[in-house]
Amino acid sequence: MSTRQFGSRVQRNIDPRLLRGEGAFTDDIPLPGALHAAFVRSPFARARILSIDTAAARAMPGVVAVYTCDDIGHLDQALPLLIPHPSMRDARTQRPLARDDVHYVGQAVAMVVAADRYVAEDAALAIDVDYDQLAVELDLERAVAPGAPAVHTTHPDNVAADFTQVSGDPETAMAAAQHVTRIRVQVDRSTAAPMECRTVAARFDAASGELVVWDGTQAPIGVRGGLASIFGLDEHKVRVIAPDVGGGFGQKVMFPYPDELLVPFAAIEIGRPVKYIEDRRENFIGSNQERTQIHWIELHATKNGEVLALKDEFLHDTGAFIPYGIAVAQVASTSIAGPYRIPNIEVRFRAVYTPTVPVTPYRGCGRPQSCFAIERAMDKLADELGIDRREIRRRNLIADDEFPWAREGLLFADGLRVSLDSGQYHKALDLVCDRIGWDGFAAEQAAARAEGRDLGIGLAFYVEGTGLGPYEGGHVRIHPITGKVYVNTGLTAQGQGHDTVFAQIVADQLGVPVTDVILVQGDTAAYDWGVATFASRAAVVSGNAIHKTAALVRDKTVRAAANMLEVQEADVELRDGHAWVAGTDRKVPLAAIATASNPLRYAFNEAAQAATQFAPASRHDGPALQDDQHPGLEAAAYFSPECATWAYGVHAAVIEVDRATLQVKIHRYVCVHDCGNMINPTLVEGQVMGGLAQGIGGALYERIEYDAEGNPTNANFVDFLIPYATEIPDVEIAHLETPSPLNPLGVKGVGEAGCIAVGPTIAAAVEDALRHRGGGRFDAVPITPSAILENLGTA
Amino acid sequence: MNARALPRPQIPVNSADPRHAVTLTVNGVEVSREVSPRMLLSDFIRHELGLTGTHVGCEHGVCGACTVLIDGVSARSCLTLAVQADGAELRTVEALADGDAGLSVLQQAFAESHALQCGYCTPGFLMALTEHFESGDPLDLSDEGIREMIAGNLCRCTGYANIVVAVRRAAELSGRS
């Protein structure tokens, strides 16, 4: 066998192309004769549209078409509710172009299509919309109070969903508790801010009736279904291609955004390709966001700190619409007990409409909020009982031999049960404390204080349900000309390196170089069974599907090779792109085996001659293919998880709060994580580190600010503070590898891991640093210098 | 009315903007074009010249994705008008590697170090770093020094750690460390 690729630090196949500037992002793809779209967006958070005057815009040179809700025919309807759930009543989704009402600043009101983007934007500015501004309430708690202005007249209380889940018997457990810790925590709104904004381009071929859409989406198969359904087309007449995509982080899994329908619509109607490339401000006001939740969490414990029951009630900001259902809040609610045994849970949330950009998943998807709630509550419980913060966790962590740990009664965001499948939680806690220097920190802190410096230490544990269903597929074919292996799956990539990790899996089965495995993804014309890239699921769901498929192709290859080499199957070895007779130098290339596995009439090269009807090797009685035989070396298989597999980890940080500027500087940061067996540790570390940087952004810098009228006031990269290299510290990442028992590869997802526990880690450390100066608790993120000033001022 | 029975609308080829002639050298080749005075250099490079390796991340000069070298000095092509580049010598990411298949030292170091994920911001990092590496000044390869070198560029995927590693590796590969 060749060296095992699974687990190796293999360089990425895709990198040379991206590094040479040969990437093919949507706006890089030549589309001759393309027209450009621009949008008129609402300047008010809540208003009635009195009139729209498009005459001046239509008359401008270079303008081809202007669309309002009156010009888009059957598209003028509420967009689909993607994930229905019984907890929602009359769920609100937006229309492609606003009719009568606008519900957030940035909502699309009209679309212009013009010769170039400059003219399209000029014309958008020339459209005169008359609004009657209405009252708004931005504050989540006040929005659900009686008398608050309603975002939708159908929902006077602004409550979009109200849902309670119970595990165990919390009522009895709470009655038995000796101590109750209560805490209110808040995480504020942020945004994914992928470096490439959203993009969509469309071309309609009237001759073939085919609509081709290039869309920087995480879910092209879903987009195709949506387009086919809304346009009344056969799915095979709609081809959606997610080309190279410049980051997604969840923002690009939601569909259809208005532009994803309107651009294809215009391309069909005008008969020319149309392109829309969102700009950065539009990404802030037009593309979905996430995070704001307020939790009131209670831990009911014994005097020794064993938590018997958890009760949590939280408000979840869903923005002006709820197209993705309750997914974010549901993930938060089912993750609320973290890595702890806590056998009795009652968790209720209300999803609240606010006149802001709609909320759908952003990397973390509710987990950063629930992790912040439980971890801040554990710290408070520790303080109240006089127990060390590490020790309180140790007393509640699930032990290695207690897995699987099921939370009966809770259903995860894929509708399947919550059961933590495997882990070494105690070992992870010990490891992080060892690496950060937990035990010796008190002396370090005292020494720093003696110098007038405020150092603090914090830690936080997280769990992450990953690898959600329903399923993904794999299709593997050995190419008869080149011997290269083509792999299809229904995912898309936004930088994760699927092309490399899936190639590693296939290379191990077929004994080919990783660079000879070519992954095709994101094109519905190439493969269209599957779901999408989200929820840290690609490695788990597609990875296992591809693994199963590659094993089937391996079996076929070995069988065909044994036949060609006239040996037993057990004597065939696959390595270096050939099948070998074990222990000899007799071999045959995979390309030749693939060619020979397809009975041919026409010879197109030397290898093919051997597969034609009069060649000795293929002469036999009866048909060339038996009844159950399939030509070529290819197979397809699927993987559908029985439930999510739970990755986990623990973070610890030592920080300093600058006494003059109140800025937080991270001195040391350690992340211990466990995503089961790692396919490629280098790529795992890349995912963790990238998540961490976003987590640090959320903990210290990033917050979408709205004024009292609902205008976002920092919708640009100058005022919304994404960390640069100068804000991100070196991080020590340590791996544990506890295989998941739920899939053949033993893998768990890692996409979101890094971002989840940063908030509570930093908050705990800042609190620890400032307690001696009379600082209070830090129960909200981001922790800006102003927040610290306020905290110290009120202590 | 059957939509297919409708005459197609007349499609304008251009806006009514006036045009100005610009002549500049791009990756060693002289090009001349007539452009609108408000056309951004980033749009000119990408859509007039078809060099799409230069990406646009924010269009307000903050993220650095669109960084190119104008007369050897790094510049935001999204904050520069095409007409301002008249007479200049421009270099873009496409010019970094010799030949069709190779990689420059910086590109090689990025690949070895897993210093890119989605790759959208990467050309901007490479151009900003190329300026540092081509200057005769000594490179400050301390952690802080490297982070300062890339402090004008945003990356949302990597958390920067591996870009720092890549810069150090590039210095090693080019004998600058």
Complete DSSP assignment for A304-339: T--EEEEEEEEEEEEET--TTTTHHHHHHHHTTTTT
Q: Which residues of B touch A725 (CB under 8 A)?
A: 146-147, 150-151, 153, 155, 160, 163-164
**Domain boundaries in chain B?**
20-95, 105-173
Please answer whether residues A520 and A486 qualify as being in contact, where contact means their C-beta atoms are separated by less than 8 angstroms.
Answer: yes
Query: Per the CB < 8 Å rule, is A61 touching B12?
Result: yes
Q: What is the pLDDT of residue A374?
A: 98
Q: How many CB atoms lie within 10 A of CB A707?
A: 11
Which residues, 6 or more positions from A64, have their beta carbon under 8 angstroms from its beta carbon? A35, A113, A114, A115, A270, A272, B9, B11, B12
Q: What is the pLDDT of residue B16?
A: 79
Q: What is the pLDDT of residue A629?
A: 86
Query: Per the CB < 8 Å rule, is B114 touching A11?
Result: yes
Distance from chain centroid for Cα B102: 18
Residue ranges of chain A with per-residue pLDDT less than 70: 1-2, 617-620, 794-795
Please answer whether residues B90 and B26 qualify as being in contact, where contact means their C-beta atoms are separated by less than 8 angstroms.
Answer: yes
Residue of A19, A27, A66, A719 to mutate for B, most B C-beta atoms under 10 A = A19
Which residues, 6 or more positions from B99, have their beta carbon under 8 angstroms from its beta carbon? none
Residue of A13, A17, A20, A714 to mutate for B, most B C-beta atoms under 10 A = A20
Distances, alpha carbon A245 to alpha carbons A24, A27, A456, B58, B107, in Å: 8, 10, 39, 16, 20
Which residues, 6 or more positions from A440, have their beta carbon under 8 angstroms from its beta carbon? none
CA pair distance A141, A169, nearest whole angstrom:
29
Is domain A469-639 annotated with CATH 3.30.365.10?
yes
Q: Which residues of A touch B112 (CB under 8 A)?
A: 11
Sign of the Cα torsion B60, B63, B64, B66 reads: negative
Sheet of strand A780-781: strand arrangement: A159-167, A344-353, A307-319, A293-301, A179-187, A780-781
Which residues, 6 or more positions from A163, have their beta carbon under 8 angstroms from its beta carbon? A85, A87, A326, A329, A330, A333, A348, A349
Q: What are phi and psi of A159, to 5 degrees?
A: -90, 120
3-state secondary structure A628-690: CCCCCCEEEEEECCCCCEEEEEEEEEEEEECCCCCCEEEEEEEEEEECECCCCHHHHHHHHHH
Among the partner-chain residues A118, A269, A722, the one whose CB lies closest to the CB of B36 is A118
Query: Per the CB < 8 Å rule, is B161 touching A16?
Result: no
Strands A732-736, A47-53: pairing kind: unpaired
Give this complex's ipTM. 0.96
Polymer length of chain B: 177
Q: What are phi and psi of A113, to 5 degrees?
A: -120, 125
Which of A739, A744, A659, A665 is CA-nearest to residue A699?
A665
CA pair distance A67, A113, nearest whole angstrom:
8
Which of B148, B90, B80, B152 is CA-nearest to residue B121?
B152
Q: How many CB atoms lie within 10 A of CB A610?
A: 16
- H helix or E strand, kind and range, residue A592: helix A590-596
Q: What is the pLDDT of residue A604?
A: 86
- H helix or E strand, kind and range, residue B165: helix B161-173
For B105-173, the fitting CATH number among 1.10.10.10, 3.40.50.20, 1.10.150.120, 2.60.40.3670 is 1.10.150.120
| A vs B: CB pairs below 8 A | 211
Query: Per the CB < 8 Å rule, is B116 touching A19?
Result: yes
For A293-468+642-794, the fitting CATH number among 3.30.365.10, 3.40.640.10, 3.40.50.300, 3.20.130.10 is 3.30.365.10
**Domain boundaries in chain A?**
31-134+196-246+252-286, 293-468+642-794, 469-639
Q: What is the pLDDT of residue B9?
A: 65
In the numeric block, which tokens belong to residue A178?
């000796």
Please answer whether residues A147 and A60 qualify as being in contact, where contact means their C-beta atoms are separated by less than 8 angstroms.
Answer: no
DSSP A490: S
In the numeric block, which tokens belong to residue A753?
């891991």
Q: Which residues of B touch A682 (CB under 8 A)?
A: 114
Please answer whether residues B67 and B74 qualify as being in contact, where contact means their C-beta atoms are separated by less than 8 angstroms.
Answer: yes
For A31-134+196-246+252-286, the fitting CATH number among 3.10.20.310, 3.90.1170.50, 3.40.30.10, 3.40.50.450 is 3.90.1170.50
DSSP A172: H
Q: Is A469-639 in the same CATH topology as A293-468+642-794?
A: yes
Q: What are phi and psi of B22, to 5 degrees?
A: -130, 145
Q: What's the fold here for domain B20-95?
A: Ubiquitin-like (UB roll) (3.10.20)
Residue of B114, B143, B167, B169 to mutate for A, most A C-beta atoms under 10 A = B114
**Would you call A296 helix, strand, or coil by DSSP?**
strand
**Cis amide leading into A264 (omega within 30):** no
Q: Which residues of B touch A12 (CB under 8 A)?
A: 111, 114
Half-sphere exposure of B159 (CA within 13 A, CB side): 24
Residue ranges of chain B with per-residue pLDDT less than 70: 1-4, 6-14
| DSSP assignments along A20-47, one per residue | TT---BGGGS--TT-EEEEEEE-SSSSE
Query: A-contacting residues of B 51-90, CB under 8 Å?
Result: 51-60, 62-63, 65
Query: Per the CB < 8 Å rule, is A195 touching B36?
Result: no
Which residues, 6 or more positions from A706, have their beta carbon under 8 angstroms from its beta carbon? A45, A138, A356, A712, A713
DSSP A79: P
- H helix or E strand, kind and range, residue A761: helix A758-770
Residue of B54, B157, B158 to mutate for A, most A C-beta atoms under 10 A = B157
Q: Which residues of B touch A245 (CB under 8 A)?
A: 118
Query: Rounded to a whole number, what is the distance in Å from the CA of B139 to chain A's nearest CA?
Result: 17
In the numeric block, which tokens belong to residue A476?
């593997």
Query: Per the CB < 8 Å rule, is A270 touching B11?
Result: yes
Which residues, 6 or more positions from A606, have their beta carbon under 8 angstroms from its beta carbon? none
> What's the one-letter identity of residue A652?
A
Please answer whether residues A6 and A508 qualify as being in contact, where contact means their C-beta atoms are separated by less than 8 angstroms.
Answer: yes
Q: What is the pLDDT of residue B17?
A: 86
**Cis amide leading into A404 (omega within 30):** yes
